[in-house]
Amino acid sequence: MATIREVAKLAGVSVATVSRVLNQKGYVHEDTVKQVRSAIDKLQYKPNAVAKSLFKKSSTLLGLLLPDFTHPLYSELAHAIEQTAFQAGYQVILCQMQEDKDHYIDILMQNNVAGLLVTQEIYDKVHMKVNNIPCVVLESVKADVPSVSCNSYEGAKQAVQLLMEKGCNFLAHIRGPETYKEANDRYEGFLDAVLDEGISYRITGSGEQAIYSFLEKAPYIDGIFAWNDEAGIDVIRAALKHGIQVPEHLQVIGFDGIKQGEILYPSLTTVSQQLFQKGSVAATMLIRRIEGKEIGSFSYVLTTKIIERESTK
């Protein structure tokens, strides 16, 4: 890989002149600019972005720290974040923070990362290391750091209301892990909605086998709200194994709005948290923090919307 000194030597100028041409600062004669650019093209010279950021005391690198790249929820968020960042002149470094991969934090800091986008779980682990770096937390509301989340509680109530409107009389909720704030909010929203309406209900855990056993014991259930789309997909699979027709005898609603629910048959009705908007808002909020601009709300809570598909009537 060519260096700036090699460019200067080929162009017959000083390193300082090459630097002025690259940064478009200071006067350089037009003929000299052509010489330098010609040398850059011949040598295929690429400026060192990290060195440049250290020199300018600024950076256009953003770190996106996620627990699992393969999860459809995170892949859609990452797409939105990368696209929004690119349009604003920033680049995203994606890090999968599993097991003992906390060393990614050190690598990002050594490369002068400008800011971080992290999930709640990861922020809780690394916040002591990154307290001097602008951060935005995905998924949950944190009092001490900007965050972007969706209104899981209201989304769950929307799901119950839709199932009632579709004629369901005995509902069930597939509850998520109690360690997840979103799962707890969705559980509370479901519970408040059914209690307010005086509807009979049951609660069970997630996992296709657990759902299969639940449906076997509770064939009277005619509407299920699952805490996320993956659990909703498990419900449909388990129902089909039992010979239960969806939506004729059992209506199902998931939560999140991942693409897998759309391509399933029957396709899954879902409470969408509008993932692209969520990622875009998070990236924009972080960039505004980095650039010292007002971010408006410290905790941005997105509204949800129901996307009706084939798993409801």
Residues 38-45: contacts with CB under 8 Å, at least 24 apart: 38/11, 39/7, 39/8, 39/10, 39/11, 40/7, 42/10, 43/2, 43/6, 43/7, 43/10, 44/2, 45/2, 45/3, 45/4, 45/6, 45/7
Q: Which pTM does this prediction carry?
A: 0.80
| Helix, strand, coil content of the chain in percent (nearest 5) | 45, 20, 35
Most confident region among 88-92, 110-114, 125-129, 156-160 by mean pLDDT: 156-160
Predicted pLDDT at 54: 43
Q: Which domains does the chain have, with CATH numbers?
A: 4-47 (1.10.260.40), 57-149+276-297 (3.40.50.2300), 152-274 (3.40.50.2300)
How many Å apart are CA 31 and CA 17, to the nearest integer?
A: 12
Place of tokens 């707890």: 184
Q: Are 234 and 213 in contact (CB under 8 A)?
A: no
pLDDT at 170 over 50: yes
Count the neighbouring beta carbons within 10 Å of the beta carbon of residue 207. 15
Query: Distance between alpha carbon 291 and the CA centroid of its chain, in Å?
Result: 22
pLDDT in tens, 19-42: 788 777 778 888 888 998 898 888
- State residue 20's pLDDT score: 81
Q: What angle do CA 222, 242, 263 make, to 5 degrees?
A: 80
